[in-house]
Structure formats: C-alpha cells, structure tokens
C-alpha cells in the first residue's frame, strides 16, 4: 500500500526559512492527492509553521488554483460515489470532516442526480444479494436496508430499492419453478 504522507524530512531546521519549508510541505502534500484547505492548514500546524505564513501561502495557492475546495469536493463526491456508493448524507459528513465549508458542500451535493443515487443503491443491493441466497426475506431486507443506511441512504429510498430488488431477484426463481413444473 502506498503511503499517503511524505517523509518527515521536510527541510525544517532552526535556520530554515519557514515560508520555504511550508511551500515544500504544501507541494509535497498536493503531489500525492488533492486536499482541502483545512487539511493543508492542519498539516502545516502539525509542523509548527507560523499561522501568518500558513494563511499567506494558502491564499496564494488558492489564487493560482492549486487549492480549490469546490473542485476538491466535486472530485471527492464523484470518487466516493463510484468506489463506495455513498449517498449525499454520508458524503456531506465526509466533506465536513475534510473541512469543506457547508455552503461549498451544499453546492456540490446539489449537483448529485437523485436518479443516479437510487440506481447506485440498486447496484449495491444486487451485488450484496449474491451473498445472501437462502436467507429469509425479512432477514435479507433488514440487512440490505442497514447496509444502505450506513452508506447514507434515506429509509424510504432504502426500503423501496430493497423491495424492488428482492422482488426482481425472486421473479426468475419463480419462473424457473413454474417452467420446471409444466412437465
């Protein structure tokens, strides 16, 4: 697994220029992956970079487009939806944890298509159903709705998707049983 933190050898010595060291830390962090301004502020604070240097550098990085919380939030939402199937509620919590401003998060999350979100929930349920063969419908329903709830889906959406997918999964079996019984 690739380490997401650069080595602690960031050039920080008593004689080093705090601004040069902070710039190196920021560039090292941003070369690994996009980060929110808040994450970068925390990283510099852990390295004891003076607050005025941190603010000045981060303002400059924002001016030139190296730090952009809205772009970061869009990329984060897209990636987490694709890799984990998270709903807007869970994504909002994650963005808040990353230090993205609530207004920025609302703007980005408003762009999420509810139809796409429901289809993502259906894909998650179908995938999970493969490992649930033989379970009673109430047990499967409870487990599937719980899985979707942990991913931030509203109860109404979760129940509707689970009911629909359980019904679709049962139909082929019913059709096979009827066909086999026609002999």
Q: For 95-149, how does the pLDDT look when each residue is reduced to its tens digit (9 = 90+)? A: 999 999 999 999 999 999 888 889 999 999 999 998 988 889 899 999 999 999 9
Show me where the domains of the chain are located: 1-67, 69-110, 114-177
CATH annotation of 1-67 = 1.10.10
**What distance in Å separates the CA atoms of residue 37 and residue 22, rounded to the nearest whole number?**
14
**Enclosing H/E stretch for 79:** helix 69-84
**Model confidence pLDDT, tens digit, residues 14-52:** 557 889 999 999 999 999 999 999 999 999 999 999 999
Q: What angle do CA 45, 49, 50 make, to 5 degrees?
A: 105
């Amino acid at each position: 697994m690739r380490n997401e933190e650069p080595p602690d050898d960031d050039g920080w010595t008593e004689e080093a220029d705090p601004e040069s060291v902070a710039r190196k830390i920021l560039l090292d962090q941003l070369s690994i992956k996009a980060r929110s301004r808040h994450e970068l502020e925390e990283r510099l604070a852990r390295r004891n970079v003076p607050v005025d240097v941190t603010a000045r550098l981060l303002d400059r990085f924002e001016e030139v487009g190296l730090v952009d919380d809205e772009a970061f939030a869009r990329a984060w939402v897209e990636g987490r939806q694709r890799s984990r199937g998270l709903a807007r509620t869970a994504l909002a919590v994650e963005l808040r944890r990353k230090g993205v401003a609530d207004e920025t998060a609302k703007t980005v999350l408003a762009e999420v298509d509810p139809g796409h979100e429901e289809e993502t929930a259906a894909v998650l349920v179908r995938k999970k159903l493969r490992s649930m063969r033989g379970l009673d419908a109430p047990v499967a329903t409870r487990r599937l709705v719980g899985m979707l709830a942990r991913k931030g889906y509203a109860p109404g959406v979760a129940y509707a998707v689970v009911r629909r997918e359980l019904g679709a999964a049962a139909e082929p079996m019913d059709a096979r049983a009827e066909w086999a019984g026609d002999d």
